[in-house]
Amino acid sequence: MNGILRLTLRYLAYNKLKTITLVLCVSLALLLPVLLQFGVAQFEQDLMARARSTPLVAGVKGSRFDLALQSMYFSRADLEPTSMREVEAIQETNYALPIPLALRFTAQGFPVVGTTLDYFEFREREIAKGTQLKRLGDCIIGANVAEKLQLQPGDKLMSDPLNVFDLSGNYPLKMRVVGVLEESESPDDDAVFVDLKTEWIISGIGHGHQSVNAETSKDLVLKQEDQTTIANAAVPQFNEVTDENLSSFHFHGETDSFPISAIIVVPVDQKSEVLLLGMYDTKESQLQLIRPTEIVNELMSMVFRVKQLFDMNSLLVSISIGLLLALVFVLSLRLRKRERQTMFQLGCSRSTIWKLQLTEVFFISAASLLVVLGITLIVRVYAGQLLRLWFS
């Protein structure tokens, strides 16, 4: 038996190109269905974990899928905003804790999440470096944001403009990084968290500018009425909140009319959850209240239907590769006919010659399985990061 193993290894080592090609072909035939099965299982596990930790989500009636994914993964979605008035309405019922989310802007490509301190307590997120939000213009960044942008508490981070050609739109705000969240292997690692008022400043609802009085340059004054000086649009606005100009920042309009993207609703108990669902399950209600777990189950049912097509395709590909490998081995046997005759004349039995051929198949299959196992282990280690990168 040792002789058969030695001859087989020598033959495979001598025919390197053929051996590598066969190993890769078999590996690909096995890898596709394995990775597909593993990827779908990991995808479902991550989605369900995030959905189970988010009891209810409220938002303007529209796409339920976009609303759920936006509130859980901070993805961009073309949804109509609701207002703080709805947050106050949920708060007044005493049925649940409403956590508003404002998700309209980005900073260096990462989503800017305007919310309240209740969000960090709800998600059980701890500060790894720095402190919590203290004042306007402060932000807390996720672990991945800190690593990719090389930011630490005390650094500055500029928000991205929605449209660089829209001069009358929002003004990018230079935010002060005050904290870095502990890594949680969740979408929070790739987000920039700010106070709601800071998000409203980015949107242009609030702003700060230099003081306007009788001594202000005439070029900046629209008109003077008794003791009141009215400035024009030429007054420069601050793009950063500092201790010196903090008092100059103000908002126009009523706070309860200011926009938010969605509301995470945390019921106090199961009865309150049922009452809330019934309250918003009417034609008159402008909001929809959804359970993320139900949305994820619907989403996964569609994914599994698509997966069936991929499974059929993987089966056909595997059969095709199997037939191709069979053809290669048959042709190899024909090309090695003289070699087998020589071995037979040297005294090898026909059973020994066939053992050599089967041993070659065994080594190629074993090498392919090792390749598949190695790639699967690597994917398993980085599955969370890969799925979040693909999903975003």
Helices 2-14, 350-381: inter-axial angle, 10-degree rounding? 60
Contact 19, 254 (CB under 8 A): no
What confidence category does residue 153 fall into, taking pLDDT thresholds of 50, 70 and 90?
very high
Q: pTM for the whole thing?
A: 0.72
On whether both 276 and 312 belong to a single domain, the answer is no
Contact 192, 112 (CB under 8 A): yes
On whether both 62 and 120 belong to a single domain, the answer is yes
On whether both 1 and 134 belong to a single domain, the answer is no
Task: Report pLDDT for 84.
Answer: 92
Going by C-alpha positions, the residue among 107, 103, 123 that lies closest to residue 262 is 103
What confidence category does residue 86 fall into, taking pLDDT thresholds of 50, 70 and 90?
very high
Residue 331's domain comprises 1-48+299-391
Q: Stretch 359-387: mean pLDDT, rounded?
A: 80
On whether both 305 and 268 belong to a single domain, the answer is no
On whether both 112 and 130 belong to a single domain, the answer is yes
Coarse DSSP helix, strand, coil percentages of the chain, rounded to the nearest 5 percent: 55, 20, 25
Token pair, residue 21, equals 């090609």
Structurally, how many domains does the chain consist of? Answer: 2
Residue 93 CA to residue 391 CA, distance in Å, equals 36
Task: Report pLDDT for 324.
Answer: 74
On whether both 15 and 127 belong to a single domain, the answer is no
On whether both 20 and 124 belong to a single domain, the answer is no
| SS3 at position 138 | strand
In a domain, 210, yes or no: no
Task: Write the burial class of residue 336 (CB in 10 Å: 0-12 exposed, 13-18 middle, 19+ buried).
Answer: middle
Name the domain boundary from 273, 290, 307.
290
On whether both 122 and 176 belong to a single domain, the answer is yes
Higher pLDDT, 131 or 33: 131
On whether both 22 and 102 belong to a single domain, the answer is no
Task: Report pLDDT for 368.
Answer: 87
Q: CA distances (Å), 297 to each of 57, 65, 294, 304, 386, in order?
A: 15, 11, 5, 10, 21
What confidence category does residue 125 fall into, taking pLDDT thresholds of 50, 70 and 90?
very high
Going by C-alpha positions, the residue among 109, 90, 111, 110 that lies closest to residue 100 is 90
In a domain, 322, yes or no: yes
Task: Report pLDDT for 30.
Answer: 78
Give exposure, 252-277, as e/b (b: 16+ Cβ within 10 Å): eeeeeebbbbbbbbbbeeeebbeebe
Residue 95 CA to residue 274 CA, distance in Å, equals 10
Residue 293 CA to residue 297 CA, distance in Å, equals 6
Task: Report pLDDT for 229.
Answer: 45
On whether both 180 and 151 belong to a single domain, the answer is yes
Task: Let me know how many helices (H) and strands (E) the chain has, helices first.
Answer: 12, 16
pLDDT at residue 354 is higher than 60: yes
The least confident of 126-130, 183-187, 357-361 is 357-361
What percent of the chain lies above the pLDDT cut of 90?
29
On whether both 102 and 200 belong to a single domain, the answer is yes
Contact 276, 134 (CB under 8 A): no
Q: Stretch 191-215: mean pLDDT, rounded?
A: 78
On whether both 43 and 145 belong to a single domain, the answer is no
Contact 274, 11 (CB under 8 A): no
In the chain, how long is the greatest CA-to-CA distance?
120
Contact 273, 55 (CB under 8 A): yes
pLDDT at residue 255 is higher than 90: no
Task: Report pLDDT for 147.
Answer: 93
What confidence category does residue 358 fall into, taking pLDDT thresholds of 50, 70 and 90?
confident
> What value does the mean pLDDT of the chain take?
81
Q: What is the DSSP letter of 280?
A: H
